[in-house]
């Protein structure tokens, strides 16, 4: 049998027969997830199919507007609580955190098939799962029948190399966020439509699980169906740290896997990067934008609200003060991240410096509450999208960058190069 990509291996394992890119399959689903922005329609479709209980594991999350800022959102959350009580679906309530982070911490495992009514479900690909976002109607069907159809995606393999001195192959102050922004800039925002992005090479092998989550989270910003990394010793360590070592399965692509494209990306000379509004693929070196006025900085979201992100931000900010003309918002991705950051003193350092800490959740990233921009204001954010209105006001501007660049900017009061703070 010919070699297989990670996507082909996962679907083959779950179907019990070999599959190839381009083939249409109906595959069992291990997990289904939705949040208050997408669950109502999925629940409606599930009910229309006459089912009383889901046919697979269903996870519901109150994370996009939590606590609810308006009555209509509070009523949506009330309905979700009732549905969970009626059907046995697992509900994660206000303050538990962002769906993608909780799935990574508590549920996702190598070889699984995960579908979610949110495009950033692909975050779980960092753990060697085939995880993808779908529309609410399709998710409702998957809830009802425990299966869904796919066209097996072709794969673009990205071999990431570098000669950095930090043991990761990356230059100083360059992070996984800068790497994925660079890749999106190379591919374009439609350069991987319905493809899998398979991340590998020495740089990926040296990244921790959280860095890999950042890569896979933003695969969809290049149009990809999913992003994946191999399941190796790093993932075993992560699962053991989460108390789930028994979920580990080694999973790597075959050396002769038939990729649609294979790109070697040398990251040795990479600068910290910034995606300029209104396009995620308009990516520029930070040095070209130093001095740009910034009104708000957000460190958090499903892309960069993890413990390593808060550590990096606190390392830069500790002993300094947030500039008086900048609002620094910090949103831990989950309650676990929040409590571990508290135990390490990271939250105290950030608050003493002038940060405002938000409840674990999506908060300002989706523009529902907690950080909506004013007309003409600019936000430098660690989130994944910067189109007009994403943060609640189409007359605001969103610049995307790493936690290091965000922290440096919060202190400087203008867009800043983190290398000047970590020298």
Last residue in a domain, options 197, 232, 266: 266
When computed from its CA atoms, the radius of gyration of the chain, rounded to whole angstroms, is: 20
pLDDT for 423 equals 65
Residues 260 and 313 in one domain: no
Cβ partners under 8 Å of residue 370, min gap 6? 69, 329, 331, 358, 359, 363, 364
Q: By three-state DSSP, how is residue 285 classified?
A: strand
Query: In the chain, what are the helix, strand and coil shares in percent, each to the nearest 5?
Result: 40, 20, 40
Tell me whether residue 360 is in a domain: yes
Last residue in a domain, options 213, 242, 266: 266
Token couple for 406: 């965000």
Tell me whether residue 54 is in a domain: yes
CATH number for position 132 = 3.30.499.10
CA 281 to centroid of chain Cα atoms: 17
Q: Return the sign of the alpha-carbon dihedral for residues 286, 289, 294, 296.
A: negative
Tell me whether residue 249 is in a domain: yes
The C-alpha atoms of residue 26 and residue 312 are separated, in whole angstroms, by 43
Residues 226 and 306 in one domain: no
pLDDT for 295 equals 98
Residues 218 and 284 in one domain: no
Give the CA distances from residue 328 to residues 63, 214, 354, 355, 407, in Å, rounded to whole numbers and listed in that order: 20, 21, 7, 5, 9
Domain that holds residue 379: 274-416
Tell me whether residue 1 is in a domain: no
CB atoms near residue 345 (< 10 Å): 12
Tell me whether residue 421 is in a domain: no
pLDDT for 230 equals 98
Tell me whether residue 250 is in a domain: yes
Token couple for 420: 């000047």
Phi, psi of 405 (to 5 degrees): -65, -40
Using alpha carbons, select from 17, 84, 26 the residue that is nearest to residue 54: 84
Q: By three-state DSSP, how is residue 339 classified?
A: helix
Give the CA distances from residue 260 to residues 21, 161, 192, 219, 226, in Å, rounded to whole numbers and listed in that order: 9, 20, 11, 16, 15
The C-alpha atoms of residue 404 and residue 401 are separated, in whole angstroms, by 8
In the DSSP assignment, the letter for residue 98 is -
Angle between helical axes of 346-353 and 335-343 (0-180°, round to 10): 80
Per-residue pLDDT of the chain (423 residues), as tens digits, is 789 999 999 999 999 999 999 999 999 999 999 999 999 999 999 999 999 999 999 999 999 999 999 999 999 999 999 999 999 999 999 999 999 999 999 999 999 999 999 999 999 999 999 999 999 999 999 999 999 999 999 999 999 999 764 556 799 899 999 999 999 999 999 999 999 999 999 999 999 999 999 999 999 999 999 999 999 999 999 999 999 999 999 999 999 999 999 999 999 999 999 999 999 999 999 999 999 999 999 999 999 999 999 999 999 999 999 999 999 999 999 999 999 999 999 999 999 999 999 999 998 999 988 999 999 999 999 999 999 999 999 999 999 999 999 999 999 999 999 999 976
Task: Name the pTM for this structure.
Answer: 0.97
Residues 297 and 244 in one domain: no
Token couple for 135: 């529309």
Residues 144 and 55 in one domain: yes
In the DSSP assignment, the letter for residue 374 is P
Residues 343 and 375 in one domain: yes
Residues 140 and 165 in one domain: yes
Q: Kind of pairing, strands 378-381 and 356-357?
A: unpaired
Token couple for 219: 């695969």
Q: Return the sign of the alpha-carbon dihedral for residues 200, 201, 205, 208.
A: negative
The C-alpha atoms of residue 101 and residue 227 are separated, in whole angstroms, by 15
Structurally, how many domains does the chain consist of? Answer: 2
Residues 102 and 215 in one domain: yes
Tell me the CA end-to-end span of the chain in Å, nearest whole number. Answer: 52
Residues 234 and 306 in one domain: no
Give the CA distances from residue 378 to residues 286, 313, 394, 400, in Å, rounded to whole numbers and listed in that order: 16, 20, 11, 11
Tell me whether residue 422 is in a domain: no
pLDDT for 166 equals 54
Residues 259 and 291 in one domain: no
Residues 154 and 63 in one domain: yes
pLDDT for 422 equals 79
Residues 245 and 365 in one domain: no
Last residue in a domain, options 237, 266, 295: 266
């Amino acid at each position: 049998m010919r070699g297989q990509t990670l996507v082909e291996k996962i679907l083959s394992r779950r179907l019990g027969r070999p599959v190839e890119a381009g083939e249409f399959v109906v595959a069992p689903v291990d997990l289904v997830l939705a949040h208050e922005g997408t669950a109502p329609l999925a629940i409606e479709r599930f009910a229309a199919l006459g089912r009383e209980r889901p046919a697979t594991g269903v996870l519901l999350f109150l994370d996009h507007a939590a606590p609810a800022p308006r009555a209509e959102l509070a009523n949506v959350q009330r309905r979700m609580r009732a549905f969970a009580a009626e059907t046995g679906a697992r509900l994660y309530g206000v303050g538990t955190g962002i769906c993608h982070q909780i799935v990574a911490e508590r549920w996702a495992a190598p070889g699984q098939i995960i579908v979610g009514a949110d495009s950033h479900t692909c975050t779980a690909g960092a753990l060697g799962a085939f995880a993808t976002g779908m529309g609410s109607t399709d998710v409702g069907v998957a809830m009802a029948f425990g299966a869904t159809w796919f066209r097996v995606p072709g794969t673009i393999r990205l071999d990431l190399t570098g000669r950095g001195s930090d043991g990761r192959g990356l230059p100083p102050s360059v992070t996984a966020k800068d790497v994925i922004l660079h890749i999106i800039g190379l591919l374009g925002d439609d350069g991987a439509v319905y493809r899998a992005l398979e991340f590998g090479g020495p740089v990926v092998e040296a990244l921790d699980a959280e860095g890999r989550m950042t890569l896979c989270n933003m695969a969809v910003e290049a149009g990809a169906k999913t992003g994946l990394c191999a399941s190796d010793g790093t993932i075993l360590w992560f699962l053991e740290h989460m108390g789930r070592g028994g979920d580990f399965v080694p999973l790597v692509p075959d050396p002769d896997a038939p990729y649609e494209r294979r790109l070697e990306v040398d990251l040795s000379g990479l600068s910290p990067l910034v995606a300029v509004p209104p396009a995620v693929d308009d990516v520029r070196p930070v040095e070209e934008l130093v001095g740009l006025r910034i009104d708000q900085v957000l460190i958090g979201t499903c892309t960069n609200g993890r413990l390593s992100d808060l550590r990096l931000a606190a390392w830069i900010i500790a002993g300094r003060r947030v500039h008086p003309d900048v609002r620094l918002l910090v949103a831990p991705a989950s309650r676990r991240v929040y409590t571990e950051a508290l135990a390490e003193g990271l939250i105290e350092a950030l608050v003493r410096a002038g940060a405002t800490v938000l409840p674990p959740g999506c908060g300002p990233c989706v523009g529902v509450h907690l950080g909506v921009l004013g007309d003409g204001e600019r936000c430098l954010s660690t989130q994944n999208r910067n189109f007009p209105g994403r943060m609640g006001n189409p007359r605001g501007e969103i610049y995307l960058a790493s936690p290091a660049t965000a922290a440096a900017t919060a202190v400087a009061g203008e867009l800043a190069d983190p290398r000047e703070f970590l020298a």
